[in-house]
Amino acid sequence: MRYRTIGTDPATRREVSVLSLGAMLFGTATDEATSYAILDRYVEAGGTFVDTSDNYAFWQNGGQGGESEELLGRWRRSRGVGDEIVFATKLGARPLAPGTSYLDNPEGLSAKVIRESAERSRERLGVDRIDLLYAHIEDRTVALRETVEGFAELVAEGTVGLLGASNHRAWRVERARAIAAAAGLPGYEVLQYHRSYLPPRVDLPGELDPDGDVGWAGPDLVSYLRAEPQLTLVAYSPLLKGAYAKPERLDEAYALPGTPARLAALRAVAAETGATVNQVVLAWLMGGDVPAVPLVGFSSVAQVEEALAAVDLELTAAQRARLDAAH
């Protein structure tokens, strides 16, 4: 396994594995025994960065979520896991009532919600401090200053370490970070967005934003990350739910002129390296000029093994150039 540092403050920064394990469906679609086996193998291989959210996975049973955090808490206790594993969770998108969702009834990002939701997550995870806490989705009904100060209070109290944002417009991230910097408060240092080798069409109205997909790490966000190298990009859904191995699973968002050429380049590089297409995608993300920590959800130990092998896959400059140039 390889590692990198996230965060800048010596009091809160952490060293994490370059491959993150996503626990979204643990405790719901992925049963407890399988979830434990996946976690055990990941940690055995040196993995140290586990990701969840307080609303995972409410859509599986019509509830409000929390099953993933609860399972991780049980696993932690059963294995005697301490602070050697970095747990990241998110708040802001938990439905306020069963049968609703983050689209029509989200908890939001008020100072009150941030405090209460973080406390519930700590209880479910069984930790004294959440290593990394994200604002899961935007809440434009609350002043950014209130959100920034709400998160900063928890850091000051020691119940939260690092702060992050997911599914926010780049200008909202920068504005929040500017507010924090001006007040001498901790700001967002880890950005979790959808990023993969195949770019989707992002101009159509999205669920969260009428101006298009706010979750994709597009040009504005990548440019921002390039200018702020102290920030970390965590890339969710990097393998497009298995669509690289089975392109027929690609939805209409990927029906773009450049998709066939990029898939062909990906297959060619995979053949040269003896790797799978999934491993090439993960290596492309980890070794890019704006490097990302791929966040991969697994439903079997075999999938974990495939992803682990990508950690040691080094693409040549020529291979990377061919992948980048394909369109």
Task: Confirm whether 134 is a catalytic residue.
Answer: no
pLDDT given for residue 158 in this prediction:
98
Global pTM exceeds 0.95:
yes
* DSSP-assigned beta bridge partners for residue 164: 134, 190
Catalytic residue (one of 3, 42, 56, 244)? 56
pLDDT given for residue 324 in this prediction:
96
Write out pLDDT tens, residues 58-92: 999 999 999 999 999 999 999 999 999 999 999 99
- Give the burial string for 109-119 (b: 16+ CB within 10 Å, else e): bbbebbbebbe
Mean pLDDT (whole number) for 263-268: 98
Write out pLDDT tens, residues 227-264: 999 999 999 999 999 999 999 999 999 999 999 999 99
pLDDT given for residue 164 in this prediction:
98
Torsion angle defined by CA atoms of residues 180, 184, 185 and 191, in that order, rounded to the nearest 10 degrees: 50
What is the C-alpha to C-alpha distance for residues 91 and 106, in angstroms, rounded to an integer? 10
pLDDT given for residue 204 in this prediction:
86
What is the C-alpha to C-alpha distance for residues 207 and 212, in angstroms, rounded to an integer? 8
Write out pLDDT tens, residues 35-49: 999 999 999 999 999
What is the C-alpha to C-alpha distance for residues 251 and 108, in angstroms, rounded to an integer? 30
What is the C-alpha to C-alpha distance for residues 59 and 92, in angstroms, rounded to an integer? 16
Report the mean per-residue pLDDT for the chain: 97
DSSP state of 310: H
CATH code for the domain defined by 3-255+279-315: 3.20.20.100
| Domain segments of the chain as ranges | 3-255+279-315
Write out pLDDT tens, residues 157-192: 999 999 999 999 999 999 999 999 999 999 999 999
Split at pLDDT 50, 70, 90, the class of 285 is: very high
* Residue 303 confidence (pLDDT) above 90: yes
DSSP state of 63: S
Mean pLDDT (whole number) for 49-56: 98
Cα 9 → chain centroid:
21
* Residue 33 confidence (pLDDT) above 90: yes
Write out pLDDT tens, residues 4-26: 999 999 999 999 999 999 999 99
